[in-house]
Structure 1
Amino acid sequence: MMPALARLFTPLISLSCLVAAVPCSLAADPPPPDTTYRPLPTLPFSAVKSADEAQKPAVMQRQAALLNQRYDLANRPMAGVMMSGGRRAVQDGVRVRLSPGQSWEGLGRLTPAEVRERNLLPDGFKPLPHVKQATGGQVFPTRQIDEIARLEQRDLRRFDVDFDLPDHLTPEFPSPIFLTTHPELGDVSRGQVLALTNYYDILLGIVTPVQMEGMRLLLTPFPQEEFNQTEDRKVAAPSRGVTCMDCHVNFNTNAAFHLTPDLRPQAARFRLDSTSLRGLFNQQIHGSKRSLRSVEDFTEFEQRTAYFNGDHVSAARKGVNLPDRASQVAMMAQMQNIIDFPPAPKLDAAGRLDPAHATQKELAGEKLFTGKARCAECHVPATAFMDQQMHDLKLERFYRTGVAANDLVPVPDGPIKTFTLRGIKDTPPYLHDGRLLTLADTVEFFNLVLGLKLSQPEKEALVSYMLTL
């Protein structure tokens, strides 16, 4: 690491001790700021666990303070607008807080340099820290933890952190499952979370033997960085690990998050929100940065590197799983590739609104989407609202990187892949790190970043249109 960058990250080494108000000699050792490999703990597991538990209230309070400073976290559902399974309302309104005295219209009139020099970029538009950046790792919502404990007696509860977003700002749970092979069946999940204890009965007679075996593997736990049997785990008892479907519950997202495997040092690793697996059959690149070229490549890479840490050295000692490409990985892909998007009855076969069924506001939103708002330049309607490309929004034009927020020292985001917008109302929060809580937030974000100068009615029309997707 360059000396100047090393100096930037060095003060974060002991920050977790200061926050927790416990002696650093008793606290879990955070990773050195410039390490490539994850170091082993230097204290016994019992001491690390005790220190983590003592720190946890302060860690959670600090993250709650950051979230409340950045966002309006209130439960304000849209009237009559539900997610595809009908179990959760879509949240309404812009939640990112502006600087005092600012308006969205006024902010949109400024140049990127003016926003940067006057430090006016809303903090909610900046990279969102992991709840415990120095440690990282997967963090699951409480409802997911409780349901897996009930179904499988497997513990996904960490002793050092909890999930940090309110439940109403996450996807419905459980999400419905739609199959390309049986669109006439609608939701095949029967309102249940698929698990090893029930998947066979739910899918029997619907999927092929190959797909059924793929489903079994997707639901089989394997050791992961924080969920395993070693002394650097973050669960109380030795763990069987996690499954692909723990994050991608019912093939959608549950808003579980971790840190990108693609970047070091630890303090610069950005938060990564779990994505939906719906429509995977149309996706050609995988991972926010790696651009792995098939779901088979992605499956093998994650299994070999302890899920999302990108560290094969650390993974090996936990019992790395090396699935066979032909007889296991291919079957997992066979199952994933029949997961469909939710129905969108107002769209025609080319991904365009049918004027006979859409409202005037939705049609106005579509016109903006393909025109002034520039959305369709990346989210191409005819190709499932994506373009199989990586794009760099160069958000660093608007703010100074390198300023720490809860131990995250952001570097420029760089190129991020285009995610599909099909079924977008079902997959909050948005952007690769979940920093945008609602669709209205995403419209305001891109209005500023792309310099669109949309009026308030135009912004509302765009949201109405995206709800039809």
Structure 2
Amino acid sequence: MSRVVTAALSSALALATATPLASDPLPPTTNFRQLPTMPFSRVMELDAAQKPAVMQRQLDMLEARYDLADRPMDGVMMTGGLRAVQDGVRVRLPEGQTWDSLAAMTPAEIRDADLLPDGFKPLPHVKQANSGQVFPQFVIDEIDRQEGRDLTRFDVDFDLPAHLLPEFPPPIFLTTQPHLGDVSRGQLLTLANHYEIMNGLLTPVQMEGLRILLTPFPQEEFNQTEDRKTAEQHRGIACLDCHSNFSTNAGFHHTPDVRPQAARFRLDSPALRGMFNQQIHGSKRSLRSIEDFTEFEQHTAYFNGDHVSAARKGEHVPDRSHKVAFMAQMQNIIDFPPAPKLDPLGRLDADLATEQELLGEQVFNGKGQCAVCHIPQTAFMDQQMHDLKLERFYAPGEVVNDFVLLPDGPVKTFTLRGIKDTPPYLHDGRLMTLADTVEFFNLVLHTQLTQDEKDALVAYMLTL
């Protein structure tokens, strides 16, 4: 083996196994992804050999942060009835603390004593150095069954248990066919079955948009070049591989908008339900229409925001006035799931809601300050970005599994319609349950909620 290859191999092994100090994070990277410096077969051999240790390290981190047990709410199911909603707070408290004791402290006191629960801090990607899309096993299995397209990566697996993820396949609701309810027939839409399922419900323009959204195109880790992360050359992934049935399967990747690599944050795939009501898109919300978002995803987002890499691997450049518009037409008819206890203005019907749910609505609109951003009359969002300034509670710069924990910065207000269907929560999936989100915002916004108010707030969100 040449000295060059030997040096490259040593460097790759060191990068994969080292635990950098907070003062010495991973070296900065440019916008351009470097090609492998050794044969693909050797890269795959090294990645596969490291995979057990990589996954164990991630599991150890998750177990230290969260209670990952399967504890469903009694009789509370997601909209499609396929998965129970998980109960209780799962973020682990620092030793000797309670949620009330933390809530009584100032941000500076929590920071100086290093008492912010780790589960409230940014959540690392399963392998920061390699990055890229990672899918739950149930998604991989179904797409492989229908299309013979295997999304298995040889370097990483998905890291959260299935019971903490969205139901699969999720139901589909159309603004154009509200009387039909779920039109999915209980199936995952793919290129193989979409015409049979949706023909007669969609216009030709919408059907063509759906076809493109289901067509796999090359992506950074799923392609035919030597820096892919699949054993076989790959056709790629489709938009709806991540946004299953226009909802989400909790597949995650890295934001394309941040460098260096060590600072890129984990990004969950959001649901596309109610896109007709949403005006800002992308992980940093720099895109102002669904057409902009669709075009950007096809050009560079699948390639980590790198247009050079996209051109090399087989970039798909849909025509803005034709194909992009068709894709937008399809996305903009996907409705939220039904919320039968809400009236047309987004308020609870007092004749249908329980006392606890009504109390939760009061907390939501008042003491909890939730409605400041999640405005009920506008689909429980405000089309704005807000900086929660979480770094008030901890010292940025800590390195966890090669990820440098830095301030989140401004984050989009996500819609809360159908929120019970889309765990885990926050942009990186760091909060496993609705109860976790209540404790998180109770601390960050210093709302001083009682336990009864917290429980009522969860009950209210289940009605949305």
In 2 relative to 1, CA 266–61 (structure 1 residues): closer, same or farther, beyond 3 Å?
A: same
Shift of 1:290: 3.3
> 2:295, 2:318 within 8 Å by CA — same for their partners in 1?
yes
> 1:31, 1:38 within 8 Å by CA — same for their partners in 2?
no
CA distance in 2 between partners of 1:99 and 1:243 (Å): 41
Residue 348 of structure 2 corresponds to which residue in structure 1? 353
> Alpha-carbon deviations, 1:103-138, whole Å to 9, x = none?
000000000000000000000000000000111100
TM-score, with length taken from structure 1: 0.94
Residue 8 of structure 1 corresponds to which residue in structure 2? none
> 2:164, 2:424 within 8 Å by CA — same for their partners in 1?
yes
Shift of 1:287: 1.3
Residue 150 of structure 2 corresponds to which residue in structure 1? 155
Structure 1 segments, 4+ long, off by >4 Å, are none
Shift of 1:13: 9.0
> 2:26, 2:262 within 8 Å by CA — same for their partners in 1?
no
CA distance in 1 between partners of 2:14 and 2:295 (Å): 35
Q: What secondary structure is seen at the aligned counterpart in 1 of 2:302? A: coil
Residue 256 of structure 1 corresponds to which residue in structure 2? 251
- For the pair 1:332 / 2:327, whether they are aligned, the reply is yes
Residue 392 of structure 2 corresponds to which residue in structure 1? 397
**Matching of residues 57-456 of structure 1 within 5 Å:** 57-305=52-300, 307=302, 309-456=304-451
TM-score, with length taken from structure 2: 0.95
Residue 4 of structure 1 corresponds to which residue in structure 2? none
The one-letter amino acid paired with 1:192 is: Q
Shift of 1:326: 1.2
Q: What secondary structure is seen at the aligned counterpart in 2 of 1:146? A: helix
Q: What secondary structure is seen at the aligned counterpart in 2 of 1:80? A: strand
In 2 relative to 1, CA 121–104 (structure 1 residues): closer, same or farther, beyond 3 Å?
A: same
> Alpha-carbon deviations, 1:218-269, whole Å to 9, x = none?
0000000000001110001110000000000000010000000110000000
Q: What secondary structure is seen at the aligned counterpart in 2 of 1:317? A: helix
CA distance in 1 between partners of 2:26 and 2:49 (Å): 19
Shift of 1:308: 5.7
> 2:256, 2:301 within 8 Å by CA — same for their partners in 1?
no
| Structure 2: gaps (5+ residues) | 1-10, 20-24
> Alpha-carbon deviations, 1:177-225, whole Å to 9, x = none?
0000111111100000000110001001111000000000000000000
> Alpha-carbon deviations, 1:336-370, whole Å to 9, x = none?
10000000000000000000100010000000000
Q: What secondary structure is seen at the aligned counterpart in 1 of 2:404? A: coil
| Structure 1: gaps (5+ residues) | 1-10, 20-29
Q: What secondary structure is seen at the aligned counterpart in 1 of 2:75? A: strand
Q: What secondary structure is seen at the aligned counterpart in 1 of 2:187? A: coil
> 2:424, 2:431 within 8 Å by CA — same for their partners in 1?
yes
> 1:229, 1:238 within 8 Å by CA — same for their partners in 2?
yes
Residue 467 of structure 1 corresponds to which residue in structure 2? 462
Residue 6 of structure 2 corresponds to which residue in structure 1? none
CA distance in 2 between partners of 1:63 and 1:439 (Å): 23
CA RMSD of aligned residues (A): 1.4
> 1:362, 1:464 within 8 Å by CA — same for their partners in 2?
yes
CA distance in 2 between partners of 1:400 and 1:193 (Å): 43
> Alpha-carbon deviations, 1:366-391, whole Å to 9, x = none?
00000000000000000000000010
CA distance in 1 between partners of 2:293 and 2:196 (Å): 28
Residue 14 of structure 1 corresponds to which residue in structure 2? 14
Q: What secondary structure is seen at the aligned counterpart in 2 of 1:344? A: coil
